[in-house]
Amino acid sequence: MKYLDEFNDPELAASQFEEIERIVTRPWSLMEVCGGQTHSIVRNGIDQLLPERVRLIHGPGCPVCVTPLETIDKALAIAARDDVIFCSFGDMLRVPGSHHDLFQIRSNGGDVRVVYSPLDAVRVAADNPDKQVVFFGIGFETTAPANAMTVVEARRRGLTNFSMLVSHVLVPPAIAAIASSPDTQVDAYLAAGHVNTVMGTGEYAPLVERFGVPIVVTGFEPLDVLEGIRRALLQLEEGRAEVENAYPRAVKPGGNPAARAVLSDVFEVCDRAWRGIGVIPASGWRLSEAYAPFDAEHRFEVSDLHVEESPLCRSGEVLQGLLKPSECEQFGTTCTPRQPLGATMVSSEGACAAYYQYRRLAPSGQAGAKVDA
Amino acid sequence: MNDDGHVTEMAPGSWSCPLPLRDHERIVTGHGGGGRLSAELVEHLFRPAFGSEVDDPSHDAVVLPVPTGGDRLAFSTDSYVVTPLIFPGGSIGDLAVNGTVNDIAMSGAVPVALSAAFVLEEGLELATLGRIAEDMGRAAAAAEVRLVTGDTKVVEARDRGGLTITTAGFGIVPDGVELSPRRVRPGDQVLLSGPIGAHGMAIMSLREGLEFESELRTDSAPLAGLVQTMLAAAPGGGVRALRDATRGGFAAVLCELAESGGTGIEYAERDLPVPADVAAACGFLGLDPTHVANEGKLVAVVAPEVAEEVLAAMHSHPHGVEAVRVGEVVDDHPGMVVARTGLGAKRVVDLPLGEQLPRIC
């Protein structure tokens, strides 16, 4: 299959592993920023096959995981209303709020619908003029253009019954937050390729300059991930720190100009709380003033809702790469995909869920000697 | 259709809408009321479509002769709900017959007869019901099983003309056949009757809001014939256990076999037949083909010394032409399934928790 098999070729992968083995002379820690990359790495066992000196740290790039509990509770409060049809991407339905999740809202009679394209939510609004239709607009820069188009389209069609609960987050400020942490163990970053498809690579040069770390724009199939790892290691070994694009088939330096134009029109930068990490300055998007009437938080008056996370959950440390999922005392015992304490165990892109799903061979939750090297 | 009676044998597919049913193009409450409308539905729609002949119409229960060939019965029931009701390659009618036929067949039994109970929603088009009943008749004929009794109820519309079918059925387990995960031993081989994922992705391609173009068709098929062919190829009990890989997919079946057998199972992802269009559709939805439902594929655990013979027998049957050996039962990690990834690493294979949810990005 074009674009799948080609980037999953075992022989090419084997030669990449050999090349990486040849390059590496001392221990390095790389952070793959995106949850999609974490999933690919753990599912394919890439981390098991890397030299022991190369350690992968799973970053905060799962949009489901970093959406604050408070936002989930706001979503639940809105979705439970009789006059609301609540539309969401599928994997948000299982994310637990303080007391329940969207599945439970649905079984209690709430009208909660999974949409695959955000614009479907606008269609639902047009088809149901007597209901308020709310779309749960979460994600990184990747999902933002399609989410932004919902309010553009709703305005064009004159729909007054559509709104969006926005919890958008941005990758560069998250990298800056991790890189400036005194505890950071990350030597280089694999940037989330699909974010760069939209935004381009221009935002990363200042980070490289400020923190002196290599940032390699990386794709998601096994060979894409390996190429990102190889280039990052090569930079580290040669003492370089640059922005490199290892995913040129999808990423242009300027990104997607049409998408960026819509984004700058619809959103404005704001401080944003990240689940488990806390507030990172200028790390999110909210609706711009021009589109503020479409903001569900104001329409349904849930802005004042405040809640606390489970004190047992250490997903914040996991999201910052300070803790491997299997090192958490709750992992696989009090915290499982069935009874998740935090969102990293819920989403299939979450590091804890990926470890739970693929790494329970040994009692400690590790598959092989190399996993936690 | 509580009152099964004598019907004239009609070829499946010959349903035509005779006069009484023309009064209603859609199901109304009265079709489940036990009165004249119910009787007409049975007489003019179900019986001709099912093509079953029952000798004595005077009982609510059908009376059948005790079949020969074994002194043990396999009995199973399942309910069928699917949206949309009709999809590429089949309909809920095919699933309702083949699903229960296959559940019976996985015990090694030869299916004999099925019942079918319908819960119809007001507003269901009679033409749709007629098509579904025809599919049931055709599937029953292909599976060499009889649809002999049934029931119809009508409920208020909840989903604009939905339909639930419950089928139950029994078969005869031939003497000497003993299939159970408890008979699985380390060293046994795991066989798969063909490529996976087509049914689930064919349905997914039609889901509201997710329409994508594909030529995927359901793989719905009766597997009883294939099972008997396999059993005949290993008469000494070399076939240990069988499962049809329906909801939860191939991965769920392996997990269930490993867990109930108390053994480990390993397979190589590379050996798993996944059609290119299934792989592509799963790729862009973020789904795992091993978790996608099939309706005409089985997984067999067989003793190593008969694996070649059983595989050859599968290849000789129309529903096993593409059968492959995919893995084996191991001493390690009892109760757990492990896949060798394409790159050569190992990962745990788990049951999906609930519904598979397409990922955000």
Per-residue pLDDT tens over the stretch B70-81: 889 999 999 999
Whether the bond between A253 and the residue before it is cis, its omega within 30 degrees of 0, is no
**pLDDT tens column, A159-214:** 999 999 999 999 999 999 999 988 888 999 999 999 999 999 999 999 999 999 99
Name the A residues in 97-116 with CB < 8 Å from any B CB: 114-116
Confidence at residue B6, expressed as pLDDT on a 0 to 100 scale: 39
- Whole-structure pTM value: 0.83
Confidence at residue A364, expressed as pLDDT on a 0 to 100 scale: 38
Q: How confident is the model at residue B25 (pLDDT cuts 50, 70, 90)?
A: confident
Asked, colleague to colleague, whether B19-173 and B181-349 share their fold, the answer is no
Residues B148/B168, Cβ–Cβ less than 8 Å: no
Rounded CA Rg of chain B: 21
Residue A50 lies in a domain: yes
Residues A68/A167, Cβ–Cβ less than 8 Å: yes
Whether A73 and A130 map to the same domain: the answer is yes
Whether A69 and A158 map to the same domain: the answer is yes
> In CATH, what number is assigned to the domain containing residue A106?
3.40.50.11740
Q: Is the dihedral of CA A37, A217, A258, A164 positive or negative?
A: positive
Could A222 and B343 be called an inter-chain contact, meaning their C-beta atoms sit closer than 8 Å? yes
Q: Which domain holds residue A112?
A: 65-170+256-299
**Structure tokens, A345:** 């165990």
Confidence at residue B318, expressed as pLDDT on a 0 to 100 scale: 97
User: DSSP assignment of B29-86, as one string?
Assistant: GGGGSSSHHHHHHIIIIIHHHH----S-TT-SS---PPPSS-SEEEEEEEEE--SSSE
Number of DSSP helices (H) and strands (E) in chain B, helices first: 9, 13
The complex's ipTM works out to 0.75
Residue A305 lies in a domain: no
A143–B contact, CB cutoff 8 A:
yes
Q: Which of A237-246, A300-309, B226-235 has the lowest mean pLDDT?
A: A300-309
DSSP state of A217: E
**Structure tokens, B82:** 């699917």
* The residue to which tokens 């973020």 are assigned: B286
Could B336 and A138 be called an inter-chain contact, meaning their C-beta atoms sit closer than 8 Å? no
Whether A153 and A284 map to the same domain: the answer is yes
**pLDDT tens column, A34-48:** 988 988 998 899 999
Residue A276 lies in a domain: yes
Smallest CA–CA distance, residue A151 to chain B, in Å, is 18
**How many domains, in total, are found in chain A?**
3
Whether A89 and A126 map to the same domain: the answer is yes
CATH classification (class only), B19-173 = alpha beta
Smallest CA–CA distance, residue B254 to chain A, in Å, is 15
Smallest CA–CA distance, residue A208 to chain B, in Å, is 26
Q: Which residue of B has its CA nearest to A140?
A: B361
Residues A24/A180, Cβ–Cβ less than 8 Å: no
Q: Facing residues of B171 across strands? A: B74, B111
Could B345 and A44 be called an inter-chain contact, meaning their C-beta atoms sit closer than 8 Å? yes
Smallest CA–CA distance, residue B324 to chain A, in Å, is 20
Instruction: Assign 3-state DSSP to chain A and report helix, strand, coil percentages, each to 5.
Output: 40, 20, 40
Domain ranges of chain B: 19-173, 181-349
Average pLDDT, chain A: 89
Those residues of chain B whose CB sits closer than 8 Å to some CB in chain A are 209-210, 270, 276, 279-280, 283, 285-286, 333, 336, 338, 341-348, 350, 353-354, 357-361
> Which of A208, A226, A245 is where one domain is finished?
A245
A196–B contact, CB cutoff 8 A:
no
Amino acid at B225: G
**Structure tokens, A180:** 């400036």
A320, pLDDT greater than 50: yes
pLDDT (average), residues A70-92 = 93
A133, pLDDT greater than 60: yes
pLDDT (average), residues A115-142 = 95
Could A90 and B359 be called an inter-chain contact, meaning their C-beta atoms sit closer than 8 Å? yes
Q: Determine the CATH number of domain B181-349.
A: 3.90.650.10
**According to DSSP H, which parts of chain B are helical?**
36-41, 47-50, 92-105, 126-143, 198-204, 224-233, 249-261, 276-285, 307-315
Confidence at residue B2, expressed as pLDDT on a 0 to 100 scale: 40
Residues B129/B15, Cβ–Cβ less than 8 Å: no
